[in-house]
Structure 1
Amino acid sequence: MRLLKAEELFRKVLEGGSKKQGRLLGLDVGSKYVGLAVSDPQNKIALPLSVLGRTKTNIDLMADDFKTLVKKYSLEGLIVGYPFNLQGQSSPDAIQVSLLVGELSKTGKLDNLGYTYWDENFTSKCVEALLNPLKLSTPVETKTMTDKFAAVCILQGYLDNMNRAMRSTDDCKE
């Protein structure tokens, strides 16, 4: 896996490494779960996908799951939610994210995939506020739904920002 600037990854996806334009996978990384969202084929809309369980011993299985998703959805990159801190200090959540990305990279199973970090601040809190009125049946169901839809928020924020930037660039060329 290779860290790319947000704009660089989006241009790579739009140009498409293969005949068909690639898609993106959004990740909301937690200590127990990783919420996943995938972009539509036009990279305009983020769609909820699933939640993967995360333990210290299942990193190879997670890498295999990601590899399967890469093939199934023609993924070109990962948008990894990252809790950016204005003070420049690493929070425990930020360390969790960095550890997962490092562990996935070490497997060597996702070497041809680019990734970038995207601000995830307040995504889970926003989703919790939206899901609270639904009164989901169990705490685990609530947590996994929150993680999945937090991944949607992360990916949608990235897609909106990148598409807006591309339109601005195109407008300047005219």
Structure 2
Amino acid sequence: MKYVKPLRLFEQMLKRKVSKRGRFLGLDVGDKYVGLSISDPKNKIASPLSVLLRKKNTIDLMAEDFRSLISEFNLEGFIVGYPFNRQQNAADAVQVKLFIDDLSATKKLEDMKYAYWNEGFTSKGVELLLNPLDLHPVEHKTILDKFAAVGILQEYLDNANRKVNLKANVLRPIIN
């Protein structure tokens, strides 16, 4: 797996023919689960996809799951939630880095690109929405992780689309 700056990843996707453009997979990496979201084919809207159980001894199986998703959805890259607002050696930041390192070490996703995106308070926002629903704890956690991944990916898509549109408008000549 290769790290690419977030906007660069989006720009690389746009350079392809429309029929060859891929989608993005959002990841919310937790200590027990990895929430997944998927962008629509036009890379405008993020939707919840699933949750993978995360265990150190199942990283090869997770890599296979990702390979299946890559072919099923024609994935362009992963947008990985990262807690930029905390210290770099904070436990949650370290676990995200370790997960990506472990996934890369499997050598099953060598052609895949990824970018980190600030997860900010995505989990907290979803948590506030879920608390009144009185869900079973496991159901609560899986929905939380899935929709946190949606928040991460949607923020990325909104930001990348806005910057690409702004750049196009600046470069477009003014017609009188």
Same fold (TM over 0.5): yes
Shorter-normalised TM range = over 0.9
Q: Work out whether residues 13 and 77 of structure 1, in 8 Å CA contact, stay in contact via their aligned partners in 2.
A: no
Aligned to 1:5: 5
Q: CA deviation at 1:134?
A: 2.2
Q: Which runs of 5+ in 1 are unaligned?
A: none
Alignment partner of 2:7: what SS?
helix
Q: How does 1:1-174 map to 2 (within 5 A)?
A: 1-16=1-16, 19-85=19-85, 88-136=87-135, 138-174=136-172
Identity of aligned residues (%): 57
Q: CA deviation at 1:72?
A: 0.2
**Coordinate RMSD, CA, aligned:** 1.4
Q: CA deviation at 1:16?
A: 3.3
Structure 2 counterpart of 1:105, which letter? S
Q: Work out whether residues 14 and 22 of structure 1, in 8 Å CA contact, stay in contact via their aligned partners in 2.
A: no
CA 1:18–1:59: 2 relative to 1, 3 Å: farther
Which is higher, the Rg of structure 1 or of structure 2? 2
Alignment partner of 1:49: what SS?
strand
For 1:113-168, what per-residue CA distance to the aligned partner results, in whole angstroms no more than 9, with x for missing partners?
110000012110100111122222x1000000000000000000000000000010
Alignment partner of 1:126: what SS?
helix
TM-score by length of 1: 0.95
CA 1:30–1:17: 2 relative to 1, 3 Å: farther
Q: Distance in 1 between matches of 2:17 and 2:110?
A: 14
Structure 2 counterpart of 1:152, which letter? V
Alignment partner of 1:38: what SS?
strand
Q: Distance in 2 between matches of 1:65 and 1:39?
A: 17
Q: CA deviation at 1:104?
A: 0.6
Structure 2 counterpart of 1:124, which letter? S
CA 1:17–1:99: 2 relative to 1, 3 Å: farther
